[in-house]
Structure 1
Amino acid sequence: MLLIHGICPENGDRLIHRTLTKDEPIPNGSLWIDLLNPSTLEDKKVETHLGVSIPTREEMHDIEPSEIIYTENGAHYMTARVICQSDTNVPKLADITFILTEKALVTVRYDEPGAFGIFLNRVTKPGGCGMEPAAVMEGLFEAIVDRAAEVLRGVGDRIDLRSRKIFDADSSQVERGGAYQGVIQKIGQYEHIISNVRESMMSVERVLLFLSANYQRPKKATTGFAPEWRTSIRDVQAIEEHATFLSSKLQFMLDATLGLVSIEQNKIIKLFSVVAVVLMPPTLVASIYGMNFKTMPELDWAIGYPMALAMMVVFAILPYLFFRWKKWL
C-alpha cells in the first residue's frame, strides 16, 4: 500500500493523505511517502520518483549495525525500532526505515504502530506540522516518543495496582488464590514491555543524534530542526531513565514476592514441625506401653489404660502450650 501525504491545495498549513492505486503516479509536492507492506512495483515507483533505493523487508530485518544509519546520494537512511501492538499484553518491536531527502520523507514499514495513526490525526489539522520533509519526520518522531511514554505510563500504573494487591492482601487469601504465581508471570510481561520500550528509544535516540549532527538544512527551508531534535533527544533520555526506574521497581517487586512465597512456605514447614513435636511425647508413651515385656506392673492395673491415654493427652497439650507461650504459633 502506498500512502501519499502532501500539502493541501486549499490551505497550505496542513497535510492531506490519500492512497494511490497501482497505476497512479506520485503527485509532485508530496512531502511524505508512506510504504505499508509495499509491493515490488510500489518500491520501483518511489525509487524512480525520488532516485533513492528502497530496502526490502529481508534487508530491513537482516541489516548490519553499520548500515542502520547512513547517507547515500544526499539521502539519509535510518532504521529504528518502534513499539507496535501496544494495546496487547506483550507489544512487539517493528523495524521501520526512514529515508529523508530534500523532496520528501519516505517510510518503509510492515507493521502499523499506533504512533503513525496518532501523527496522521495530528497533521491533517491546520498547523499540525511544518511543510517540509524534515518537519514531517520531526513530528513523526515526536509521536513515536509520546506513544512510548504513554505505554510506559500504562505499565507503571499496572505495576502499582499489582503491587497494592500483593502487599495489602491477606496472606492466606493470596496463597489460596495462587496470586503469587500470577504476579510473577505479570512481572515477566511488564519487564518485556519495558525492555521493548527501552530498546525502541535507544534506536530512536541514535537516529536523532545522527540527524542533529549530520542533517544539512536545505536552502529553501525556513527554519532549522536541530533545536527540535535536541528536545526530542532529551525526551527520549527521560523515557529511558523512567524505564530504568520501573525495571528497578519490578526487581524489588519480584524479590518481595519471592520473599512472601518463602514466608508462606516457612509457615507450612513450621506447622509440620510443631505437629511432629506435639505428637512425639504421646508416641513415646504409646511406644513404652506397647513393648512386649513379660513384667510390666501397669499392665495389671485397672486404671492402666486410662492412665496411658491421659498421659498422651497431657504430653501433647504441654508442648502446644509451650509454643503458644513462646509465641512461636
Structure 2
Amino acid sequence: MLTAYVPGPQGLARLEGDNGAASQDVVWFDLLEPTEAETRLVEERLGIELPTREEMREIEASNRFYEEGGALYMTATIVTKLDTDLPESAQVTFVLTGSRLVTNRYVDPLPFRRFIAYAERHPAVCSSGALLFAGLLESIINRIADVIERAAYDLDGISQDVFARRRRAERDFRRVLERVGQSGELISKIHECLVSLGRLLAFVQQSPNHHLTQEVRSRLRTVTRDIAALSDHSTFLGNKVTFLLEATLGMINIDQNDILKIFSFVTVFLLPPSVIAAFYGMNFQHLPWLREPWGPWAALAAMIASSFVPYLIFKRRRWL
C-alpha cells in the first residue's frame, strides 16, 4: 500500500493512491508491503531506486547505508510484536531525497502508527521529510525505552521467583526457564535494533546533506545519546538474563541432588534390614533363633534396630 502525506494546517494529511503520489506537496511517501507498481511509481516520481526486500535483509554496511544521486539510503532493523511472546525483527528502509522522506517497509510497527497519529495533529513536525525522519526515530526509541523498562521489571519478578524461600513443590522452574528465555530473546532483539539504529545515525550525521537543518541534527544527536544509554542498559539486562539462567539451572541441580540424596539415604537405611532378612531367608538348619517361637520377632526387632544405625550416622555427620 502506498500512502502519500502532505503538510496541512492541522498537521499531516494523507493522500492514498496514485493521484496522491502525484502531488508536488508530498513530504512523505510511505510504502507498506508495496506492489511492484507502487514501488515503480515512487521511483519514477523521485528518480530513485529503492532496494528490494532481499537487499534490505543484507547486513553489510555498504548495502544498508549509502548515498546515491543526492539521496540518502538507510536500512535499519526494527523490532515488532513487542507485546507478544514472540517478538520479531524486520527491516525498514528510509530514503531522504531533497525535502522528502520515503519509507519502505513490510511491517507496521506501533511507533509508526503512533507517530502518524501525533503528526496528524501537530503541523510543526511535518514540514519536511527530515523532520518526519527525526520524529520517526524518536518514536521508535521511545517505544524501545518503554519495552526495556518492562523487561527490567519482568526480570526483577523472575529473580524473586528464583531466590524466594519457598518449598520445592511451590517453585515451577520449567516456567521460570521459559520466562528467562523469552526475556533473553526480547533483550537480544532490542539490542540488535539499537545497534542498527546507532549505525544509521552515525551514517546520517556524517552526511553533508543540506536538508538536515541544525534543528534536525540536534534532535538526531539527542537520539544518539538515548541509543547509547539504552544500549548500555540492554547490555546490563542481557548479563542479568545470563545470571538468572545460571542461577535457575543451579537451583534445579540442587533440587535434583536433594532428591538423589533422599534415594541414597533410603537405600542405605534399608540395607542392614535387607542383610538380616536375606540371612534368615537362606533356610539353613543351624541358624540362631530359627527353631525358637520368638525367633521371627527377634529377627524383626534386629532389622528395625539395624535400620537406625545409618540414620544416626547420617544425623551425626549432618548429612540430613
After superposition, the CA RMSD in angstroms is 2.0
TM-fit CA distance, 1:44 = 2.1
User: What secondary structure, in the 3-state scheme, does the structure 2 residue paired with 1:55 have?
Assistant: coil
Q: Name the counterpart of 2:173.
A: 180
User: What secondary structure, in the 3-state scheme, does the structure 2 residue paired with 1:54 have?
Assistant: coil
Rounded to whole Å, the distance in 2 between the matches of 1:137 and 1:22 is 23
Rounded to whole Å, the distance in 2 between the matches of 1:285 and 1:40 is 88
2:219 matches 1:208: no
2:34 matches 1:15: no
TM-fit CA distance, 1:128 = 5.4
Rounded to whole Å, the distance in 2 between the matches of 1:129 and 1:229 is 14
Rounded to whole Å, the distance in 1 between the matches of 2:134 and 2:65 is 16
Q: Name the counterpart of 2:294.
A: 303
Question: CA deviation digits over 1:290-322, x for unaligned, max 9?
Answer: 334333342233322211111111111233244
Rounded to whole Å, the distance in 1 between the matches of 2:276 and 2:140 is 77
Q: Confirm or deny: 8 A CA contact 1:30 1:104 kept in the other structure.
A: yes
Q: Confirm or deny: 8 A CA contact 2:12 2:126 kept in the other structure.
A: no
Does the C-alpha gap of structure 1 residues 128 and 147 become closer, same or farther in structure 2, counting only changes over 3 Å? Answer: farther
AA at the equivalent of 1:323: F
Q: Name the counterpart of 2:3.
A: 3
Does the C-alpha gap of structure 1 residues 146 and 216 become closer, same or farther in structure 2, counting only changes over 3 Å? Answer: same
Does the C-alpha gap of structure 1 residues 209 and 292 become closer, same or farther in structure 2, counting only changes over 3 Å? Answer: same
Rounded to whole Å, the distance in 2 between the matches of 1:166 and 1:327 is 26
Q: Confirm or deny: 8 A CA contact 2:28 2:102 kept in the other structure.
A: yes
Q: Confirm or deny: 8 A CA contact 1:166 1:174 kept in the other structure.
A: no
Q: Name the counterpart of 1:199.
A: 192
Q: Confirm or deny: 8 A CA contact 2:15 2:21 kept in the other structure.
A: no
Larger mean Cα displacement after TM superposition, 91-100 or 157-166: 157-166
Question: CA deviation digits over 1:13-33, x for unaligned, max 9?
Answer: x322x2412454432221111
Equivalent residue runs for 1:87-166 within 5 Å: 87-126=83-122, 129=125, 131-166=127-162
Does the C-alpha gap of structure 1 residues 190 and 27 become closer, same or farther in structure 2, counting only changes over 3 Å? Answer: same
User: What secondary structure, in the 3-state scheme, does the structure 1 residue paired with 2:282 have?
Assistant: coil
Larger mean Cα displacement after TM superposition, 126-135 or 94-103: 126-135
Rounded to whole Å, the distance in 2 between the matches of 1:259 and 1:34 is 50
Rounded to whole Å, the distance in 2 between the matches of 1:169 and 1:110 is 48
AA at the equivalent of 2:287: M
Rounded to whole Å, the distance in 1 between the matches of 2:219 and 2:21 is 33
Does the C-alpha gap of structure 1 residues 25 and 290 become closer, same or farther in structure 2, counting only changes over 3 Å? Answer: closer
What TM-score results when the alignment is normalised by the length of structure 1? 0.90
User: What secondary structure, in the 3-state scheme, does the structure 2 residue paired with 1:273 have?
Assistant: helix
Rounded to whole Å, the distance in 1 between the matches of 2:59 and 2:233 is 29
TM-fit CA distance, 1:62 = 4.5
Q: Percent identity?
A: 36
Rounded to whole Å, the distance in 2 between the matches of 1:63 and 1:293 is 83
Unaligned runs of 5+ in 1: none
Does the C-alpha gap of structure 1 residues 41 and 296 become closer, same or farther in structure 2, counting only changes over 3 Å? Answer: closer
Question: CA deviation digits over 1:13-70, x for unaligned, max 9?
Answer: x322x24124544322211111111122212221222111122323323575421100
Does the C-alpha gap of structure 1 residues 265 and 63 become closer, same or farther in structure 2, counting only changes over 3 Å? Answer: closer
Does the C-alpha gap of structure 1 residues 222 and 322 become closer, same or farther in structure 2, counting only changes over 3 Å? Answer: closer
AA at the equivalent of 1:269: L
Q: Confirm or deny: 8 A CA contact 1:217 1:224 kept in the other structure.
A: no
Q: Report how many aligned residue pairs link the two structures.
A: 320
Does the C-alpha gap of structure 1 residues 189 and 25 become closer, same or farther in structure 2, counting only changes over 3 Å? Answer: closer
TM-fit CA distance, 1:323 = 2.9
TM-fit CA distance, 1:275 = 0.8
Larger mean Cα displacement after TM superposition, 41-50 or 318-327: 318-327
2:296 matches 1:313: no
Rounded to whole Å, the distance in 2 between the matches of 1:23 and 1:129 is 24
2:246 matches 1:255: yes
Question: CA deviation digits over 1:137-165, x for unaligned, max 9?
Answer: 11111111111112222222222222222
Q: Confirm or deny: 8 A CA contact 2:162 2:247 kept in the other structure.
A: no
Rounded to whole Å, the distance in 1 between the matches of 2:277 and 2:155 is 56
Q: Confirm or deny: 8 A CA contact 2:76 2:193 kept in the other structure.
A: yes
Q: Confirm or deny: 8 A CA contact 1:174 1:180 kept in the other structure.
A: no
Unaligned runs of 5+ in 2: none
Larger mean Cα displacement after TM superposition, 233-242 or 47-56: 47-56
Q: Confirm or deny: 8 A CA contact 1:2 1:19 kept in the other structure.
A: no
TM-fit CA distance, 1:205 = 0.7
Rounded to whole Å, the distance in 1 between the matches of 2:144 and 2:207 is 25
TM-fit CA distance, 1:191 = 1.1
Does the C-alpha gap of structure 1 residues 243 and 222 become closer, same or farther in structure 2, counting only changes over 3 Å? Answer: closer
TM-fit CA distance, 1:169 = 5.4
Which of 222, 225, 237 lines up with 2:216 in the alignment? 225
